[in-house]
Amino acid sequence: MSSEKRRTRQTAYNEDKQVLADMFKRPSPPLRQPPRLVERNRGLDDVEYDGRRTQPGRARQRIDDRQGHPGPIIAPLSKASAEFEEIRALHERTLLERHYAASRSSLFDVLRHPGFVMLVAIVSILLILVTSRSDTTATLSSYFGFGANEPAVLIETNAPALATPPGEHSVMGQPTVSANFIDTVLAQYNSPANGTGEIWMQFGQQYGIDPAYALAFFIHESSAGTNPGWAGMKPDGSTTHNVGNIICAGYPTCFGRFRDYGSWEEGIEDWYHLISKEYIGDRQAHTVEQIIPIYAPSIENNVPAYVGAVTNMVNEWRSSGVSR
């Protein structure tokens, strides 16, 4: 580097250094003094005034005289607290009123909603239907109609409320078989109930049920009391006289799971009473297609096969011309 360039750079450096030195020599502007604390809240022990501590009342008087106008009104702490509590209570009451108004509005909106009105109507209809029917919850296991010990439940065969659906077979009606025909069928099976034709006819007319269906149930359940696997067959060769395999369900005398009757008359009447009271009377179920799914549910039996066996037997007896 030439000597001329070094002198130029040195001169520039010296000038900058002098500018900085002049800047630091300038006096700083005076700082603004903070406002002087004149008075504390009334209610304290003393007040600072002009660097001295004096009584609140005297300090207040000096300030008022010095400035030429009344000093600031400082409420006592107790009064301020009371005002604060009043404001807070008013605020809480306002919030509660707003919340109540909002809740009431929401409730009215729900009550006016069409869906809520429809739900209330549906529930009311269901309650009316449930309460209008007596003993609608009866089931096979809760049946306690113990034959002759219960009054007969007479069924009107022409009741309009029990119309037969198309394709189904009602068990209600006048007998379509005779007592002699029943005895003939029982004799063909070599049934221990042979000779009871008049009993089947008597209770069929009393309960308004065609005896042909009662006989068909007896044959399907136990081959008219001759099936070796029949639950009503006792080891000594006697039977329970239970023509429909009605389960015990609290009956006074039972054999295993099923009722044990003292005679065929008791067993036959209890079957009619069961169908008349529990199915036709309580459930309004009067067709073979309606009765068997409850009487012999699918968990234990082949329901379609049971229905077909009963209806086919009755139809064959009626069409054979020998049912009288």
Structure token digits, residue 86: 């009043």
Rounded CA separation 100/107 (Å): 10
Task: Give the chain's mean pLDDT.
Answer: 76
Confidence check: pLDDT of 52 > 60: no
Rounded CA separation 281/145 (Å): 13
Q: Average pLDDT, stretch 14-42?
A: 62
Q: For position 12, what pLDDT does the model report? A: 75
When mean pLDDT is compared across 5-19, 52-66, 309-323, the lowest value belongs to 52-66
Cβ-in-10-Å burial (0-12, 13-18, 19+) of 246 comes to: buried
Q: For position 213, what pLDDT does the model report? A: 97
Percent of the chain with pLDDT over 90: 46
Residues 156, 160, 166: CA angle, nearest 5 degrees:
110
Cβ-in-10-Å burial (0-12, 13-18, 19+) of 202 comes to: middle
At 202, is the pLDDT very low, low, confident or very high (cuts 50, 70, 90)? very high
At 27, is the pLDDT very low, low, confident or very high (cuts 50, 70, 90)? low
Top pLDDT among 272 and 159 is at 272
Structure token digits, residue 263: 């005679």
Structure token digits, residue 169: 């077979």
Amino acid present at 13: Y
Q: For position 141, what pLDDT does the model report? A: 34
Tokens 């020599």 belong to 25
Is the distance from CB of 145 to CB of 279 less than 8 angstroms? no
Rounded CA separation 307/312 (Å): 8
Top pLDDT among 26 and 307 is at 307
Confidence check: pLDDT of 147 > 80: no
Kindly state the DSSP code that residue 286 receives in the 8-state scheme.
-
